[in-house]
Amino acid sequence: MVKNDRLKVTLSGVKLDNPVIPASGTFGFGYEFTKFYDINILGSISFKGTTKDARYGNPLPRIAECKEGLINSIGLQNPGIDSVISNELPKLKACFKNPLIANISGFSIDEYVECCKKIDKEDQVEIIEVNISCPNVHNGGMAFGTNPESAKEVTKAVKAVTTKPVYVKLTPNVTNIVEIAKACEEGGADGIVLINTMLGMRINLKTKKPVIANKMGGFSGPAIFPVALRMVYQVYEAVNIPIIGVGGISFAEDVIEMMLAGASAVEIGAANLKNPYVCKEIIENLPEVMDKYGIEKLTDVIGMEHYYRYLEKRRLIWEKML
């Protein structure tokens, strides 16, 4: 495996060989994919969402196929933080040598704090990704990420017990994503990850009932890419911390488009479920696509669209002044 310096990016001081990261929930704990390819080609891995206690997940069925995507209601199935640390991470450490991103979920601030405090001690984990799309059991079940104050409170509490960069993963199911992102930055977040899945539903024409047992679930796949791109674009203009762009990315061209909007790295989600080789293929295709569009280094294009728009705005102002 030959590394290409043109692809290198940095997230809060953490150096990645490239910006391609399999998204939590679509790549297991990573070692499962070693039967397909050498996973050390990846920039990082955001491993399976982890909670304080083991969770079986939601009742079946919990997957529904859609045009240009799928709906899932897995329900954060995982063995719990202690088992992840003692059983899963050693397996991954044996086959993956690059920085890891730990995806942490919780149903109370205390749960977030406990999990993040424990995972912060793991050497291979270099970034903690806090998923605030979870329902707050102490606040009527409303997701932490739908309220700026709750988002800020979780972020602040986690930062108080961790030493590693904390990236907050946001739900798109809100009225104003910028407001939530700014609240996380105010709470001390080192970065933002967006977007998580969108709320969707399918109905079986034969049974006349929802396909998914929980009725609704998270919609992901190529269809949500324009929404994710728009939100990354908006948030980039509002915060001064790095962004990891997620949502519908399937090709090398998508990676570059997301970075033009403001992402410093990207996560690949649903595409892994359709093609287990997709992350490898995107990494291998990036240099050719960069050559096609005259891009020397990927870091050169981060937020470039905003810069060009700024220059055009300045040009128009000068024309009016003359």
The catalytic site residues sit at 134
Cβ–Cβ under 8 Å, residues 277 and 37: yes
Q: Tell me which long-range contacts 225-231 makes (C-beta under 8 A, separation of at least 24).
A: 225/249, 225/250, 225/254, 227/172, 227/195, 227/198, 228/172, 228/194, 228/195, 228/258, 229/257, 229/258, 229/261, 231/172, 231/177, 231/194, 231/195
Token pair for 149: 């104050």
Cβ–Cβ under 8 Å, residues 61 and 202: no
Q: What is the CA radius of gyration of the chain?
A: 19
β-bridge mates for residue 193, sequence order: 169, 244
Task: Indicate the length of the chain as a whole number.
Answer: 322
Give 84's DSSP letter: I
**Separation of alpha carbons 208 and 221, rounded Å:** 25
**Separation of alpha carbons 31 and 104, rounded Å:** 19
Cβ–Cβ under 8 Å, residues 136 and 150: yes
Q: Tell me which long-range contacts 202-205 makes (C-beta under 8 A, separation of at least 24).
A: 202/64, 202/66, 202/71
CA distances for 155 relative to 98, 197, 284, 293, angstroms: 25, 20, 35, 38
**Separation of alpha carbons 130 and 111, rounded Å:** 11
